[in-house]
Structure 1
Amino acid sequence: MRKQSATLAVLALSLAGCSLIGLGIGALVDSHRSKPRSLEGWDLQRIRKGARIRVLLRDGSAVAGRFRGVETVAEEYAARYAAWRGAREAADTMPELGDRVTVGGRSGATNSGTLVGFDPSSLAVRLGDEASIQERRYTDVMRFATERGGALSGAQLAALAGQGRLPLRSRLVVDATPIPLERVASIQVPTRAGKITGFVLGAAVDVILIVAVANSLRSLDNLRCEGCSSCPFVESFDGHGYVLETEAFGGAIFQAAQRPDWARLDHLAAMNGSYRLRLTNEQEEIQYVDEAHLLVVDGPRGARIVPSASGRLHVLAAPVPPTRASTGRGEEITRLLAARDGDSWISNPLGRDPQSVESVRDTLVLEFPRPPRASAVTLAFRVQSTPWVSTLLRRVLALHGRLMPAWSARLEGDAAGRAEFLAALRREGLPAVSVWNGQGWQIVGSLVNLGPAAPREQALAVDIGSIPGDVLRVRLESSAGTWIVDSVEADYGPEPSVDVIELRPVEARTEEGTDVRRLLDGPDGARHVMHPHRDALTLVFAEPPVQRGRRRSVVVKLAGYYTILVPPDGEPQESLFARLVTEPGAFARYSVGSLYSELESRRPELERPVD
């Protein structure tokens, strides 16, 4: 393929720089990196002309076919921009194409010209009487002012572009269908392992650049990246081999935070009268396993067992998907959440203004039909975190620098400090669940124990007896770029009865063949220790007789904690750490700012000419 003269225009980079002022994020990232490192937790993919893609649009529809390139048609854009401007209040503040605008740069220089249009990462103006068009990156724009009195910062323009609230000149062409970039929510690309879903980071004539989270982290080798951390992996033997099922006790990163955790095992199959599991440690951490039991549940056919965070086993007999689901940006995602199929909604970190707490939070609002006189509901969420969360957690802990060992020791004995830290993790890093009570949003719980390696299903029981109406409205909210939702369902009961048998392992062998069953009986202070990088423990359980006419489900119960191995070096940044813990929204701003700084460090690579 010939070398193109065009380079990739990078969307997210337009938010780096000024948007980091006020939290010290830019200085923080620079002080911890002597040279640019890989983009941990995300995968950058170039989609070349001719590739098969599926474009998910903000209105909930999709266009599938071959990517045929990126085009700009001046007449079409002028008509689209005029229609957008005339249909919104933007007519009072946003200029018409051809209006004079003033652009103030970071260097202090100010230029005036006529507006040509907007792109993902820049605005196009014609300065003075020049015939050529000049691109002004949002990164370099301090103030964009119009003769109509409106003024915006470059970061605000970039956020509008990233949120689909500003008409953009470029259109993707899929087969014969041109799609304006502002209509694109995400792009799916088929791979041998399934598919990846990503967000448009930039576009040139024959290529799109996306930042993606893969459904299978192992397909990207992100689980072994330098800055990632996770929790023990649980693998089920399905009759042919071991399959990754879930992660255990996520977020329990010190001994005093140890807690039990429950997860249904969908791939586990009995072989020769036994169930077999593997626990593995593939990260830079030490894992301490205190309990490993199985709960064998026999219930009615057609029912599904979904554990809650507290270990209650809910029995869903008639769950229903939402009739409507939308994001805080107005994107329609009902189809994505309608089934447990891996076709998931991913919280998009791009197009955010880190100066705005509201901008760096993401929300979903779902509506379910509510039967007459229904007074209780069980909500079932199939969710996971993004790999970026584990990277962020390691970086936040690294703020203690050489004082990291002292902080960890202090937290073990400081109940108040421990509670504050865990509350901050829950507030900033885990989706909060609310219901509409007729007057406002009422928080009813949060989703916990999320990990990036695989989705898990979690139940939340909610009393809705005092809530009016025949529609149940549910909201999820968390920091942008940190969570993934595959499905949400509502079941109004009643729950059928089930029979539960708790099993202890008949074998628990390390890689060296040592049986450590005595360490896995419960919270007695004796724990099995798993060391970094592929330490593994194989568990064998005896299969109880299956009851005739009943459907069997198996739930694993694990308890323990893990210690993330953060090098105790560097100068402590205790004030920034305290701010992230105590100030609502500061963590989300730190998250978005850190990601944009990572992308800024990759600017030369991302903007090089495409071969």
Structure 2
Amino acid sequence: MKKKLRLPDSSLFPLIRKNSQIISILMTLAFLNMCISCSYYKAKTIKTNSDNFASKYNSIKKTNRYIIIHSDNQIWHLNNLIVNDDQKEISGSLMPVEESHTLYPLKENQKSRVYKKSKSSGKTLEIHFYTNESINTNSHSQVVIPFSNIKEVKVYEPDTGKKILSIVGFTVASLAVIAIIIAVTKSSCPFIYIKEGNSYAFTGELYPGAVLPSLERTDYLPLPNFIPQNEEYELKISNELLEIQYTDLAQLVVVNHSPSNEVLLDQNGKLHTIATKEAPEIVTSNNDKLSINPSLEKDSNAYLFDEENKNNKGMNTIVFTFDKPTQSNQAKLVLSTKNSLWFDYVYGKFNEQFGSFFNHFQQQQLKVPAEKNIKWRNDQGIPLSVFVKSNNEWVLIEKINPVGPMAFRDLIIPIDLENINSPKIEIKLECGFMFWEVDYAAIDFSKDIPLDIHYVNPISATDEKGKNVTYLLDKEDKNYLIQPNIGNQVVIKYHVPSPKKYEKQTVFLKNRGYYTYIRDYKGIPNFAKLKSFREIGALSQYSKDEYVRFNTKTNISDIVFNHE
């Protein structure tokens, strides 16, 4: 299980802002050094026995293998490995392990680790065999090892989800700078924390992207691993950013169900059950095949929508291909996804183009119909659009609202398969350049199981001054809890009866509201540049251009010192 970000009751954001320039410089230097000198690898254990050893070994990537034998407390490189499935044995020549192959072992529960590039020149893959019994380890001697003597196989390979950030030059350093900038000027939404023992665990963000009263919307945030204490759930909503937050509703949605099933609410609040998730067979972008690995686990090894786009109106796409059961007429796409920190940075740079005119522009936006703002947002690829291929045409299924950049969120999207006659299902995800990250993708063909949904109002809500504000959060009435300042917070409690003995309880936070930015941009508005954003896909192209600029070494210090 992945560790969640834990923060103390007193947030570090004000301290970071106060010392933002110093921190930016130090972090930039540190991460530039890491980028130049380091990369990453990850390990996985392959379960083997005498019957399946050969097939398991052959399933491992076949290029640039480097075999290491662990026997008692000694290690050797096994050169010229031969796998004999008939005799159930491997053979090869024992040689000393080269210095460049000293990555092992990972610490317990550690999934990946940094290594020095200078120590890994030419290395792409290591395979480690651990033996049950001692073997004859005369240097350079030929050895034969029965399959039955191999108790464990570990594969050490580049962690592509991290290495991709270092092989493109200054990207790791760039993202480090972005993280600091966002800590100072992040443009997101209220943070939500769940109570775990004596501390709070950060879980997600409320009504992301609702940056105007006209864009106010209802949002359903999963609260995984939320454990009640004495049938009481406790959470906290806090303002840690330069914005004014207006929350109209904070209601728990409680579902009791069989532990053999998962449950998720779609973005319209409809409940779906998940029985068996199927992984994609193929993943492509612009007809170029991508690794399937990022889709298989929720491990932050994500698709970044950073491929070169072709004929997609400036948008980036990823296509997942799944097997389709013969009689299935419905499916549910399951994703773990979030907005990228990069998009948060780009959207802030877009707002900077207004200069001192920004606050006046915000006032003007109050008079603009929601439909116009939504159309512009859609034209720029801000939502994550989901398409299914039907009769060789891409059919739009849904546009996923922003979910914020601070935590991955599990989503479910129902898909009607009535008009899908192919034995395969092709699903396309589309957005602006690096606007989203997808950490997991699967499909489920099971029918939804009817379950009762319980909507639970808070029994108490207390702000940072000790004031009871429960009446502001227990119904949709446009009577808002207003949090205008950094440090505003409200602690909310809910009473929920325990599930039956053989049931599991899953909870979501039904929330509704909007927020507005607090900015003090300087300078003359860049009206010529702003007019260009009327074009479809302009923000996506701006994101790509800014990305190229950001990754130019000579611009790093300029970005650190001059970002508003």
Q: Does TM-score exceed 0.5, indicating one fold?
A: yes
Secondary structure of residue in 1 paired with 2:418: coil
Query: Which one of 19, 26, 40 corresponds to residue 53 of structure 1?
Result: 40
Secondary structure of residue in 2 paired with 1:513: coil
Matches within 5 A, 1:441-452: 441-452=394-405
Secondary structure of residue in 2 paired with 1:345: coil
Offset from partner CA, 1:137-176 (integer Å, 9 cap, x none): xxxxxxxxxxxxxxxxxxxxxxxxxxxxxxxxxxx77736
Query: Is the Cα contact below 8 Å between 1:188 and 1:198 reproduced in 2?
Result: no
Aligned: 1:553 with 2:498: no
Matches within 5 A, 1:92-491: 175=120, 177-178=122-123, 188=159, 198-202=165-169, 210-211=172-173, 220-221=179-180, 223-226=182-185, 228-328=186-286, 330-348=288-306, 358=312, 361-415=315-369, 418-427=370-379, 428-491=381-444
Matches within 5 A, 1:489-500: 489-500=442-453
Corresponding residue for residue 503 of structure 1: 456
Unpaired runs of at least 5, structure 2: 1-23, 44-59, 67-116, 125-156, 559-564
Query: Is the Cα contact below 8 Å between 1:197 and 1:213 reproduced in 2?
Result: no
**Residues 578 and 359 (structure 1 numbering): CA distance in 2 closer, same or farther, change over 3 Å?**
closer
Corresponding residue for residue 99 of structure 1: none
Corresponding residue for residue 588 of structure 1: 540
Give the C-alpha shift of residue 425 in structure 1. Answer: 1.9
Query: Is the Cα contact below 8 Å between 1:375 and 1:465 reproduced in 2?
Result: yes
Percent of aligned positions that are identical: 19
**Residues 577 and 562 (structure 1 numbering): CA distance in 2 closer, same or farther, change over 3 Å?**
same
TM-score (norm 1): 0.64
Query: Is the Cα contact below 8 Å between 1:253 and 1:561 reproduced in 2?
Result: yes
Query: Is the Cα contact below 8 Å between 2:249 and 2:510 reproduced in 1?
Result: yes
Equivalent-residue separation in structure 1 for 2:217 and 2:378 (angstroms) = 15
Unpaired runs of at least 5, structure 1: 1-36, 66-171, 180-185, 203-207, 607-611
Equivalent-residue separation in structure 1 for 2:271 and 2:357 (angstroms) = 42
Give the C-alpha shift of residue 372 in structure 1. Answer: 1.1
**Residues 443 and 246 (structure 1 numbering): CA distance in 2 closer, same or farther, change over 3 Å?**
same
Offset from partner CA, 1:357-387 (integer Å, 9 cap, x none): 7595322111111111211111111100111
Equivalent-residue separation in structure 1 for 2:496 and 2:288 (angstroms) = 49
Give the C-alpha shift of residue 297 in structure 1. Answer: 0.5
Equivalent-residue separation in structure 2 for 1:196 and 1:275 (angstroms) = 40
Offset from partner CA, 1:286-323 (integer Å, 9 cap, x none): 11111000011011222111221111121112221212
Query: Is the Cα contact below 8 Å between 2:234 and 2:493 reproduced in 1?
Result: yes
Give the C-alpha shift of residue 54 in structure 1. Answer: 2.3
Corresponding residue for residue 146 of structure 2: none
State the number of aligned residues: 436
1:431 maps to a residue whose letter is L
Query: Is the Cα contact below 8 Å between 2:247 and 2:482 reproduced in 1?
Result: yes
Offset from partner CA, 1:377-428 (integer Å, 9 cap, x none): 111111001112222223323333333333323322331xx32222222342
Corresponding residue for residue 95 of structure 1: none
2:541 maps to a residue whose letter is R
Equivalent-residue separation in structure 2 for 1:495 and 1:437 (angstroms) = 23
Equivalent-residue separation in structure 2 for 1:464 and 1:39 (angstroms) = 53
Secondary structure of residue in 1 paired with 2:167: strand
2:336 maps to a residue whose letter is R
Query: Which has the higher mean CA deviation after the structures are superposed, 340-349 or 302-311?
Result: 340-349
Corresponding residue for residue 146 of structure 1: none
**Residues 64 and 575 (structure 1 numbering): CA distance in 2 closer, same or farther, change over 3 Å?**
farther
**Residues 275 and 209 (structure 1 numbering): CA distance in 2 closer, same or farther, change over 3 Å?**
closer
2:332 maps to a residue whose letter is T
Query: Is the Cα contact below 8 Å between 1:447 and 1:458 reproduced in 2?
Result: no
Query: Is the Cα contact below 8 Å between 1:322 and 1:488 reproduced in 2?
Result: yes
Secondary structure of residue in 2 paired with 1:339: coil
Secondary structure of residue in 2 paired with 1:555: strand
1:542 maps to a residue whose letter is H
**Residues 240 and 509 (structure 1 numbering): CA distance in 2 closer, same or farther, change over 3 Å?**
same
Query: Is the Cα contact below 8 Å between 1:362 and 1:479 reproduced in 2?
Result: yes
Query: Is the Cα contact below 8 Å between 1:394 and 1:564 reproduced in 2?
Result: no
Query: Is the Cα contact below 8 Å between 2:459 and 2:493 reproduced in 1?
Result: yes
Equivalent-residue separation in structure 1 for 2:428 and 2:284 (angstroms) = 10
Query: Is the Cα contact below 8 Å between 1:198 and 1:212 reproduced in 2?
Result: no
Query: Is the Cα contact below 8 Å between 2:37 and 2:118 reproduced in 1?
Result: no
2:358 maps to a residue whose letter is M
**Residues 173 and 557 (structure 1 numbering): CA distance in 2 closer, same or farther, change over 3 Å?**
same
Offset from partner CA, 1:525-560 (integer Å, 9 cap, x none): 211111343322111111223123222100111100
Equivalent-residue separation in structure 2 for 1:238 and 1:409 (angstroms) = 41
Equivalent-residue separation in structure 2 for 1:230 and 1:40 (angstroms) = 22
Secondary structure of residue in 2 paired with 1:449: coil
Equivalent-residue separation in structure 2 for 1:476 and 1:41 (angstroms) = 33
Corresponding residue for residue 573 of structure 1: 526
Equivalent-residue separation in structure 2 for 1:482 and 1:340 (angstroms) = 19
Give the C-alpha shift of residue 586 in structure 1. Answer: 1.0
**Residues 174 and 385 (structure 1 numbering): CA distance in 2 closer, same or farther, change over 3 Å?**
farther
Equivalent-residue separation in structure 2 for 1:282 and 1:568 (angstroms) = 19
Aligned-pair Cα RMSD in Å: 3.6
**Residues 389 and 554 (structure 1 numbering): CA distance in 2 closer, same or farther, change over 3 Å?**
same
Query: Is the Cα contact below 8 Å between 2:283 and 2:318 reproduced in 1?
Result: yes
Query: Is the Cα contact below 8 Å between 1:295 and 1:557 reproduced in 2?
Result: yes
Query: Is the Cα contact below 8 Å between 1:322 and 1:334 reproduced in 2?
Result: yes
2:269 maps to a residue whose letter is G
Query: Is the Cα contact below 8 Å between 2:28 and 2:173 reproduced in 1?
Result: no
Query: Is the Cα contact below 8 Å between 1:201 and 1:211 reproduced in 2?
Result: no
